[in-house]
Structure 1
Amino acid sequence: MYDYLNSYGYLLEKIKHEHALCEKIKITRFYSENAAPFLIAYDLTKESIHDIVSIYEMSKEENDELCTLFLLHGNGYNFCYTRNLKTKQFIQLKDMIVYSNRFKNNTLSKGKVESDFFENLFFEAHSFLRDIDGLHPDEALDELCKLIYAKMYDEEMDYNIYSYNGGNCEEIAASIRKLYKIANENDMRIYALKIPGYKRSRGVFEEPIFLSSNAISKVAKLFAKYNFTNADIDFKARAFQNVYKPATRSGMGQYFTPIQVIRFIVSCISPTLSDLIIDPFAGSGHFLSESLSYVVPAVQNEKMKNEFIFYKLHGVEKSERMVRIAMTDMRLHGDGHSNIRCTDSLLPFESYTDLTEKSFDIVMTNPPFGSILQKDSYSYLGDFELLEGRNKVPLEVLGLERSLQLLRDGGRLAIILPESIFVNKSYTYVRNWIEQNMKIRGIISLPLLTFSPFGANIKTSILFGTKGKVEQPYNVFAGIIENIGFNSKGDNMDGADWMDVAAKFKSFIEKEGW
């Protein structure tokens, strides 16, 4: 067996390895620089079983799941296999993958990244994953988030795993799978001590990397050229947007709020360092990352800045994939990722370990539209006044009430809702509830095409308000955004007027107050 492996470059004297024995099968594991097995070779006897699946399961040790290259050596034959980490299937290879000398890649710059080329980095990596593994754009984006997560941990710990070129793609990939696993374990260990139920609500990076070794290796070599930590936050944010935006059009449009709408809302709400902020339907987390961009640049006090970044920004999102995307985006914006919970935002408050009513100063959100909740699903939900006496209710109506439940008295709300809520007779009960529970500060109509690039042709408006009952008459700002800055295909358009409307609304608030 070793003569066979030597002929492909696997020299025992140059590669760390260990021998083991299981049911008369001699096993040799070859390890990467960070002790990840990247080749497992089984030397069989006549009495041994010869089924790769049975042998693997019978002899499996810790970290063997990181390996995707296997050899079965018997009397006069050598069978090579790769293992698909998602389907768990073994696929026989035509030949063994060649191994050459590993070396350190010294191209990683420790200086500040200035090149605009960084903005195309994630798009290029995303293209590699789609092309090599045949992934749908949203699947490729999900896997890309895992590789970014591992890369940023690699730099934080100064391991430089991404800076090593292994002897082949299998060694590189196994190294990064091990790095990713350690990063998640470290995240769990640190934050579980600070946040009750952290693993249950935030442990979305426990899902392994499902990519092929070839795909991981290709992206790793690309990432090795750049220092993410020292890259300008704007570069990183735009680079991620370049991938995220087209991916959402290909399968995740229901989670997407156009950045122009997000910036309009954040500008109108004008969050400050002292505000505790939540998005209960966080999707990609862009209300949170945009709040970071709005508040942090002008802050001089490092202690207050860090407190805002790590403790003041919160989100709830049901989709594990979207939480991974949101956490990645938050980290690229300067962290705050640990406060995005992966759970249903409409559960009873007793179901949450660290989420209570009347806690937040600001809610900014875009709840899902179009889903109708039937009466038989009510028992799974929290207490909602807008459910009482009704056999069915739109999800966005409960999203509105949950948003108000999360706010303290006097807290500020900005929520995107279908225009039918404001005009249709069937929603009179919702409008009455709004008037009884909040002071409406503004209703601003969005163009019909606002969500068209993402597969939704629905007229929407933004409701701004302050939680609390109001006895005296008051003025309400009414506005119309006619040009949001892009057309129905998502292409940029000149003449956007949302900034003018935001300025008028802020002038109204300055005069009338929240």
Structure 2
Amino acid sequence: MADNKIISIPDGKICDYVDGKFRNDTPEEYVRQTIEKRLINEHKYDASQIKIEYTLQLGSRKPRADIVIFKKDCTEQKQENVYIIIECKKETVDARNAKDGVEQLKSYMSACPNCEWGMWTNGKQKEVFKKYVNDQGQIDFMDYNDIPSADGNLDDINRPKRTSLKNAYDDNLLFVFKTCHNHIHVNDGLQKQPAFFELLKVIFCKIEDERNIPNPLEFYTTSEERSNPDGQLTVKKRISKIFERVKKKHGKIFDSNDEIKLAPRSLAYIVSELQKYSLLNTNIDIKGKAYEEIVGANLRGDRGEFFTPRNVMKMTVEMVNPKVDEKVLDSSCGTGGFLVTAMTHVITQLEAEFSEQIGLPQKDWDYDTKKLFQDKKSDMAAHNYFGFDINPDLVKATKMNMVMNNDGNNDGSGNILQTNSLLPPHEWTDEFRTKLAEALGIKKEEIRNHKTLEFFDVIVTNPPFGSKIPVKDKNILEQFELAHIWECDKKTNVWTMTDRLQSSVPPEILFIERCTQLLAPGGRMGIVLPDSILGSPGLGYIREWLIHNHRIVASIDLHADTFQPRNGTQTSVLFLQKKTQEQKDKEEKSGSMADYNIFMAMVEKIGHDKRGTPIFKRDKEGNEILIPEKNNVYVLDETSAGDRTVAHERKTKIEDDQTPDVPEIFAQWKKQEGLSW
């Protein structure tokens, strides 16, 4: 058995997924590697069937095809036996480009007598062709949904069955979402935002169809339907029927008169791109990344919104460690990333508890047990997860994210509500207060003012910040101690609050206090804040207020590039536990604060650079490191001549990211400090 050797990659190179050779790290190469991962992991081709940079003979020219595939039983991998050709270009090359577009691919296919299939992609557009001889005896090409998988089954390309749906791998789902969004934007002439919401309607139809067990899947288009106007209309009818069910189920997200506004041609294209995947079973991180990136690219407003990277959300949630029966809130929920991450964290605990109760591991659950677990999950999502945001489009996006990632729940979105949560509670709309009270199981009269809001056990949030969007409304400011003017005694360095209000306050300062008001005594929060709050001398009163009202549990200093490429603000994640009235009274009486340790860490490596490009671990010589892929399998085989062979071992780079290390160290520290959560 081979050793798990660690291999270094020279600078500017990548290690090819199929043949293990080093190639230049270029935009084209990124597209090719993503496709190669799909061929192996989704289409189940064997690496031995695939050749990279394969030289073809075209008259006197010898161009190289990016990827060619031979059939499994092919004994001679010669040009006449090429079965599929794939051309990969960078995003800026258009399919209609005379030199590098689909015509180049067709000329390669024509030069290989037995080549049946071809695919052209730039990561944003994808074209698939099946070669055939027409009635005039000439070579012709038919548009197809996708290339066949290794088993050659064409039925699944045209109409997938539940058993043939594939889980998306790596960046493929992001590729597909981008391709679809780009298609709508270009072909339907819609602006980015409406284009995005049309795409989401179709994604919802896909999820609804997957959930419609045991009925056969209806979310599909055959290649024939996709390539003619009549067929495209049939697809539109079929998907519109699913959308009717979606609207009934998700009345909080879609109006009853809502419809899919895409042209039949575009809709058929998008269905063909999505139909092969299982959106319910695809890994939650892959789904989340694809969804949040595309939401971020299209819905980012100008209210100081910049969305938290997934690795920071994961770190924060693991450190705050929400429990199964705790109520969790994100008071500025953006795309819903924090809530989905928290829910995933708790579902893992729920699964372990449930398995223990019934004495069976998850893999052995029967249908009824699974159904029971889904109900438990739905119940938890419906009662314990809350999100507020001022931007109605983001509220909609969060609801969709909850539904997409909470496969057991018909509507994991009931408690995602639109409001300006800094307003005095009596100014919150009646609808908002009614819904919130209902979800919390209280009377709405109980939501009176800023002193009667202690409803949540855990808050995880990244509030909007910025001096460009200060709050000046006196009605809002008078609810907050931090909106008052504070004076500092130069001798003792102690801050005292005056009766006078400041004329304007940045929103993040008010959000800290609002979050504290929303926390139950003993509740805890993880909040992303600009470093100025924690370090600027003039803001000492905020620190004084924080210490008076909370136990400061931890402060994690994030790398300056954390929110790049969109924002260079230096930030930290602050972890606070709200003091009970009893604790505060005791301190007041004794005239001294309880003494305790604070956990501090600096995340110096965040996994990407200021352009947002991933950064990978390197060795002492500065070369990127390769390690064997997780679950890497060595396939030992014997040839007919008795030779032992071992399958190609796939290696992968590791992102240089320290956030996953922090929760583990923090958990040990917490034990020492006697913190039970």
* TM superposition score normalised by structure 2: 0.53
CA distance in 2, matches of 1:259, 1:205: 34
Find the residue that maps to 1:392 and give its secondary structure: coil
Give the structure 2 partner of residue 252 of structure 1. Answer: 300
Partner of 1:414, secondary structure, is: strand
Amino acid at match of 2:570: K
1:162 pairs, out of 219, 227, 240, with: 219
| Conserved? CA contact 2:463–2:528, under 8 Å | yes
Question: Which residue of 491, 510, 514 maps to 1:398?
Answer: 510
AA in 1 matched with 2:546: I
Q: Which has the larger radius of gyration?
A: 2
Name the counterpart of 1:314.
Answer: 386
What's the CA shift string for 1:155-191, capped at 9, x where partnerless?
4345855346583434533554464355223333xxx
Deviation at 1:203, TM superposition (A): 5.9
Match of 1:426 in 2: 538
Q: CA deviation at 1:466?
A: 0.3
Name the CA distance, whole Å, in 2 between partners of 1:490 and 1:306.
35
- The alpha-carbon deviation at position 491 of structure 1 amounts to 1.6
Specify the alignment match of 2:557 in structure 1: 445
1:408 corresponding residue in structure 2? 520
SS at match of 1:324: helix
Q: CA deviation at 1:285?
A: 0.6
SS in 2 for 1:358: coil
> What is the identity, as a one-letter code, of the residue corresponding to 1:512?
E
CA distance in structure 2 between the partners assigned to 1:255 and 1:466 by the alignment: 25
- Counterpart for residue 19 of structure 2: none
Cα displacement (A) at 1:263: 1.0
SS at 2:563 equivalent: helix
Matches within 5 A, 1:359-378: 359-370=455-466, 371-375=468-472, 377-378=473-474
Equivalent position SS for 1:149: helix
Query: Is 1:478 matched up with 2:563?
Result: no
The AA in structure 2 aligned to 1:149 is F
Residue number among 294, 317, 340 corresponding to 2:416 in the alignment: 340
Question: Which is further off, 172-181 or 495-504?
Answer: 172-181
Secondary structure at the aligned position of 1:490 is classed as coil
Tell me, what secondary structure is at the counterpart of 1:452? coil
CA contact (8 A) 1:266 1:291 kept: yes
| Partner of residue 454 from structure 2, selected from 346, 352, 358 | 358
Between the two proteins, what is the percent identity of the paired residues?
Answer: 27
Amino acid at match of 1:272: K
Name the CA distance, whole Å, in 2 between partners of 1:114 and 1:153. Answer: 17
Is 1:500–2:661 an aligned residue pair? yes
Task: Assess if the C-alpha contact under 8 Å between 1:121 and 1:239 holds in 2.
Answer: no
Number of residue equivalences = 395
Task: Output one character per residue of 1:476-514: Cα deviation in whole Å (capped at 9) or x when no partner.
Answer: 122211111111111222332223333222222222244
List alignment gaps of at least 5 residues for structure 1.
Answer: 1-103, 189-198
Q: Quote the offset at 1:273 in angstroms.
A: 1.1
Q: CA–CA distance in 1 between the matches of 2:475 and 2:540? A: 25
Distance 2:291 2:189 in 1: 16
Partner of 1:297: 348
For the Cα contact (< 8 Å) 2:168–2:286, is it kept in 1? Answer: no
CA contact (8 A) 1:347 1:382 kept: no
The answer for unaligned runs of 5 or more in structure 2 is 1-155, 355-372, 438-446, 448-452, 485-500, 588-593, 618-655
* Deviation digits for residues 3-53 of structure 1 (CA, Å, limit 9, x no counterpart): xxxxxxxxxxxxxxxxxxxxxxxxxxxxxxxxxxxxxxxxxxxxxxxxxxx
8 A Cα contact 1:348 1:382, kept in partner: no
Distance between the aligned counterparts of 1:391 and 1:150, measured in 2?
A: 49
User: Hey, what does 2:632 align to over in structure 1?
Assistant: none
For 1:509, the equivalent position in structure 2 comes to: 670
Please, which moves more after superposition, 144-153 or 116-125?
116-125
Contact kept, 8 Å, 2:161 with 2:217, in 1: the verdict is no
Q: Map Cα deviations across residues 406-426 of structure 1 (whole Å, 9 max, x no partner).
A: 110000110001111111133
Q: Which residue of 174, 185, 192 corresponds with 2:248?
A: 185
Q: Distance in 2 between matches of 1:446 and 1:105?
A: 45
Residue of 548, 553, 575 corresponding to 1:464: 575
Give the structure 1 partner of residue 272 of structure 2. Answer: 221
Q: 1:115 to 1:477 in 2, by over 3 A?
A: closer
Specify the code of the residue in structure 1 equivalent to 2:391: S
Secondary structure of 1:367's partner? coil
Please state how far the C-alpha of 1:232 moved relative to its aligned partner.
3.3
Greater shift, 148-157 or 356-365, is seen at 148-157
Deviation at 1:442, TM superposition (A): 1.0
- Residue 461 of structure 1 aligns to a residue whose secondary structure is strand
Which residue identity does 2:159 align to in structure 1? T
Residue 268 (1) aligns with residue 319 (2): yes
Aligned residue in 2 for 1:127 = 182
| Structure 1 residue 382: Cα displacement | 8.3
Displacement of 1:245 = 1.8
Task: State the one-letter code of the partner of 1:213.
Answer: P
Asked whether the 8 Å contact 1:414–1:462 carries over to 2, the reply is yes
Relative to structure 1, the CA distance from residue 306 to residue 485 in structure 2 (aligned partners, 3 Å threshold; closer, same or farther) is same
Q: How far does the alpha carbon of each residue in 1:315-371 deviate from its partner, in whole angstroms, 9 at most, with x for none? A: 112222222322222222224233211222223334222155111110000000104
Give the TM-score normalised by structure 1: 0.69
Q: What amino acid maps onto 2:504 in structure 1?
A: K
* CA positional deviation for 1:239: 4.1
Give 3-state SS (helix, strand or coil) of 2:265's partner: helix
Task: Measure, in 2, the Cα distance between the counterparts of 1:131 and 1:382.
Answer: 49
